Amino acid sequence: MRIARLPLDEQLAALPRVLGTNPVLTGVLHQARALGLPGWWVAAGAVVQTVWNHVTGRDPGYGIKDYDLIYYDPSDLSWEAENEVIRSGRRVFGDVPVEIRNEARVHLWYEERFGVPCPPYDSTEDAIASFPATTCALGARITPAGEWRLYAPYGVSGAFDLRLRPNPRLAPRQVYEAKVARWTRDWPELTALPWP
């Protein structure tokens, strides 16, 4: 039976096994703990794309351009503070392309980049819930005890079912459609639902 057809608790139970097939992802998850970042998750592309690769029988790292490590620290919203975390991350992750972002400061630059205002997030979970496709609103971490923690505000069946669903909560239509164009080029098995 396809994982997308299983009850939600069984889908969530299968997700760590699937994500564990990507050794670069699991390495990033283990190494991220060393940074001690508040509210951190490895989220979005590398997480959902590992699922797509599993479902489509591709190499676990196929098509993954980088690994998004997000955290939430409202105590210092300066670029300098975030950049120091980015520099620390480079020392921890070496040549692995890890994009580190403090979600507490996204509202400071989002409108200039995407053309719409972004209300301040109140957590990394709030940020994940606003990703342009609900299918990619996934976060994972591994605790110091080795336990998987997952955040999936819209569930995981879309990831396992290769179905892209837009999330008009924040991102404009062109952001979703640009991502769809790239993703469907690399994973032609995906079905993209239209912008509402």
| Contact between residue 81 and residue 105 where contact means Cβ atoms under 8 Å apart | no
Which whole number is the average pLDDT over 20-44?
A: 97
**pLDDT above 80: residue 9:** no
- Please write the tens of the pLDDT for every residue from 53-83: 999 999 999 999 999 999 999 999 999 999 9
Q: Could you write out the three-class secondary structure of the chain?
A: CCHHHCCHHHHHHHHHHHHCCCHHHHHHHHHHHHHCCCCCEEECHHHHHHHHHHHHCCCCCCCCCCEEEEECCCCCCCHHHHHHHHHHHHHHHCCCCEEEEEHHHHHHCHHHHHCCCCCCCCCHHHHHCCCCEHHHCCEEEECCCCCEEEECCCCCHHHHCCEECECCCCCCHHHHHHHHHHHHHHCCCCEECCCC
pTM, whole model, 2 decimals? 0.94
Encode pLDDT of 137-160 as tens digits: 999 999 999 999 999 999 999 999
The CA distance from 9 to 6, in Å, is 8
